[in-house]
Amino acid sequence: MEGLFDYAPAIALFPLAAFVIALAFGPKLPKKGAIPGIVATGGSLLLSLVMLAAVAGGEEGYYHETLFTWAAGDAAGEVGEGIEFTFGILIDPLAALMLVIVSLIAFLVHVFSLEYMNAEGETGLPRYYAGLGLFTFSMLAFVYADNLLMAFMFFELVGLCSFLLIGFWFRTRSAPSAAKKAFLVTRFGDYFFLIGVVAIAATFGTLQFAGDDSFVAAAETAIDDGGQLFGFDAETWVTITGLLVLGGVIGKSAQFPLHTWLPDAMEGPTTVSALIHAATMVAAGVYLVARMFGYYALSPTALAIIAFVGGFTALFAATMGVVKDDIKQVLAYSTISQYGYMMLGLGVGGYVAGVFHLMNHAFFKALLFLGAGAVIILMHHEQDMWKMGGLKNKAPVTYYTFLAGALALAGIIPFSGFWSKDEILYDALIVGTEQPLIMAAYAMGLLAVFFTGFYTFRMVFLTFHGEPRSDVAEDPHPVGWAVKFPLIALGVLAVVAGIANLAPVAKLTGLEIEFLNEWLSGGAEGTTYAAYTDALAAVYDTGYIGTESTTVLIAAGLSLLLAFSGAGLAWKLYNVPEPVAHKERLGSVRETIESNYYQDEYQVWLAEGLTLPLARAADRFDQTVIDGTVNGVSSVSLFGSDRVKRVQTGIVTNYAALIVTGFIALVIVLGVLGGWFL
């Protein structure tokens, strides 16, 4: 069993090979690179499943191996002395789970692309499949990275791939601009991440995630010793470095205030959106928090900030999703909102809940995006929901799978999204009873459930119900097996994935059915759920309203009630043969929400009104003072040498005269000093 882990690097290397093949031979291949991509991601999926089984069946329950050391400090090897930069693989239960999710989604997206991209006769398909391959490679390597630096490098590569794929239709005006925006906004967050990596490396001398020489263990020791780090309390310093790393997470996972890139990223192909939102780019941020959860668990402040940002983003994005007319825009805001939930879950210490929602969200959001892709095929590339309607009977497979995804997203029992979202809200509630700030985050998360239910079913009703509102909706383009197969596979998962952790049922009935909980309890020492629970016991007090059972019921009941009322309101307003827009009734609020709370405007102002003048001033300082000094030195020496070189006339007589004059002068000087003339 243990020998199987030797094949672990291949999980990421398969898509890399597909990338190379698509890039080199893509134009000559029958499907322009789709086949190698499908084979490679399929291989990765199989290997990931093997790893999952190996982790489950192995003695240790995890695999940690350093593959390559590319730089080592002088005193490397002595703990806390020299720093070693390595590439290594860490496959513990969390990583194994994520590997399966990522490779599964990537595989299905590749299959879906056969119809979404190839059948449409797109140009540049080899570039598209090469991008997908590199994207999958980066994400898989990021997932099983065993240290923070390697994680950072692949994190950056993920960002690069998103840039390449969002800007796939680079001949349009909007796609390159959206790609640039995604790249720059996430890079702004990654800047803090990089500083965080350097700070952690400089402080603890190690960047390993797991094991005795991990920075998590080092930080724990430092806090226990009660010493000072860089002039701060150890705990304050851990908070600072943790928050720096969190900057990258907020950028990638599109949390407030760096969420603005994500809706614009809808300019890319829908398949790419599915990959970005469900499994790769956006998931990378939350996965990183889960990966180094032990580190955050040491700092109550960082956790509270994560929880609050998450709760706020969940509500904030959900309200914006309510007024969007483009089917992909609605899904984009729902993604931001759902990742807000995951952050909330992780922030309140609900490690299992956060990871659970990450998994469920990957399934149902990939399903919804691929469903939206199918709708876009049906509608001949029309994305405005007001031009759809009545697709229910004409495309039953798309409808029912999309509906399953929508029910999961809205958090309707018993679909997968309900179980994980409810667990997050439950975890937030029990902590919130003791801490007002977390209570506020919980309240925002709870309120967001209502909006989620509303915009999800507004989308479903406008798209599939009622009478067709355009000619293409009357006569949709048929979809083939390459669309239906991924939809059905994901549809089934979106319905049943909740079984992985039926926490409320377990708490009420006492049955031992919290499989994910048990699964995440394994792994390397210090990265297990049990270790996190111990660490969190010092951070958060939990309280119940009445007993545990009543709290569970209250939490689940509240979120279900809100989800149903949101969905019900959508039902009432939009499930009619000829729905009309109700946005006008919102009055002045509508304008604010439709402008996305002027987030883009103020960020553009920050860039143009603040950063640009500052950069100009810095440029002027550089051009005048710095360059002036350097140029001054060089002109002085140029001018001086121009004068001095005239001594060289090229006439031998002059040289002889100079020599003689010099000699005479020397003799006179020596004579005067020697006192010959006295």
589 binds another protein (CB under 8 A): no
Are the beta carbons of 250 and 260 closer than 8 angstroms?
no
668 binds another protein (CB under 8 A): no
CB of 664 to another protein, least distance (A): 11
d(CA 193, CA 208): 16
Single out the segment in contact with another protein by CB under 8 A; choices: 251-259, 320-328, 530-538, 650-658.
Answer: 650-658
d(CA 34, CA 480): 16
CB of 645 to another protein, least distance (A): 5
653 binds another protein (CB under 8 A): yes
Single out the segment in contact with another protein by CB under 8 A; choices: 44-52, 151-159, 246-254, 656-664.
Answer: 656-664
DSSP category for residue 173: S
Which of residues 587 and 650 has its CB atom nearest to another protein in the complex? 650
Candidate list 3, 171, 478, 652; residue touching another protein; CB under 8 A: 652
CB of 670 to another protein, least distance (A): 18
Single out the segment in contact with another protein by CB under 8 A; choices: 421-429, 606-614, 632-640, 641-649.
Answer: 641-649
650 binds another protein (CB under 8 A): yes
Write the CB contacts of 211 (distance below 8 Å, at least 6 apart in sequence).
Answer: 64, 217, 524, 525, 526
Greatest alpha-carbon span in the chain: 126
d(CA 320, CA 566): 15
643 binds another protein (CB under 8 A): no
Are the beta carbons of 112 and 271 closer than 8 angstroms?
yes
606 binds another protein (CB under 8 A): no
Closest to 160 measured CA to CA, from 72, 77, 41, 284: 284
Write the CB contacts of 390 (distance below 8 Å, at least 6 apart in sequence).
Answer: 464, 465, 466, 467, 468, 469, 473, 474
Which of residues 71 and 656 has its CB atom nearest to another protein in the complex? 656
CB of 653 to another protein, least distance (A): 6
**Quick check: helix, strand or coil at residue 486?**
helix
678 binds another protein (CB under 8 A): no
660 binds another protein (CB under 8 A): yes
Which of residues 471 and 642 has its CB atom nearest to another protein in the complex? 642
645 binds another protein (CB under 8 A): yes
DSSP string, 318-353: HHHHTT--BHHHHHHHHHHHHHHHHHHHHHTT-HHH
d(CA 87, CA 67): 6
CB of 638 to another protein, least distance (A): 13
Whose structure tokens read 């391959």? 133
Single out the segment in contact with another protein by CB under 8 A; choices: 13-21, 424-432, 528-536, 642-650.
Answer: 642-650
CB of 185 to another protein, least distance (A): 56
Candidate list 68, 512, 648, 678; residue touching another protein; CB under 8 A: 648
CB of 192 to another protein, least distance (A): 55
CB of 659 to another protein, least distance (A): 10
d(CA 107, CA 101): 10
Strands 228-229 and 63-72: unpaired
DSSP string, 18-42: HHHHHHHHGGGSTTTTHHHHHHHHH
657 binds another protein (CB under 8 A): yes
Let me know if 563 is exposed, middle or buried by CB neighbors in 10 A (0-12, 13-18, 19+).
buried
Write the CB contacts of 427 (distance below 8 Å, at least 6 apart in sequence).
Answer: 345, 348, 349, 350, 353
Omega prior to 396 cis, within 30 of 0: no
Q: Which residues ranging from 505 to 534 are in contact with another protein (CB under 8 A)?
A: none
CB of 644 to another protein, least distance (A): 10
C-alpha distance from residue 84 to each of 74, 202, 337, 474, 678 (Å) = 9, 11, 38, 63, 76
d(CA 185, CA 248): 10
Candidate list 28, 393, 547, 651; residue touching another protein; CB under 8 A: 651
123 binds another protein (CB under 8 A): no
Which of residues 30 and 650 has its CB atom nearest to another protein in the complex? 650
d(CA 447, CA 340): 13
CB of 660 to another protein, least distance (A): 6
Q: Which residues pair with 84 in a beta bridge?
A: 72
Candidate list 67, 614, 656, 667; residue touching another protein; CB under 8 A: 656
CB of 632 to another protein, least distance (A): 23
Which of residues 652 and 678 has its CB atom nearest to another protein in the complex? 652
Single out the segment in contact with another protein by CB under 8 A; choices: 73-81, 558-566, 620-628, 646-654.
Answer: 646-654
Single out the segment in contact with another protein by CB under 8 A; choices: 24-32, 401-409, 450-458, 655-663.
Answer: 655-663
Instruction: Please state, as a whole number, how many other Cβ atoms lie within 10 Å of the Cβ of residue 363.
Output: 29
Which of residues 647 and 673 has its CB atom nearest to another protein in the complex? 647
Write the CB contacts of 446 (distance below 8 Å, at least 6 apart in sequence).
Answer: 425, 558, 559, 562
Which of residues 59 and 642 has its CB atom nearest to another protein in the complex? 642
CB of 657 to another protein, least distance (A): 6
d(CA 50, CA 548): 38
Single out the segment in contact with another protein by CB under 8 A; choices: 170-178, 210-218, 297-305, 647-655.
Answer: 647-655
649 binds another protein (CB under 8 A): yes
Which of residues 585 and 645 has its CB atom nearest to another protein in the complex? 645
Which of residues 509 and 641 has its CB atom nearest to another protein in the complex? 641
CB of 85 to another protein, least distance (A): 52
CB of 652 to another protein, least distance (A): 5
Element (H, E) at 65: strand 63-72
Element (H, E) at 66: strand 63-72
Could you list the residues that contact another protein (CB under 8 A)?
645, 648-653, 656-657, 660
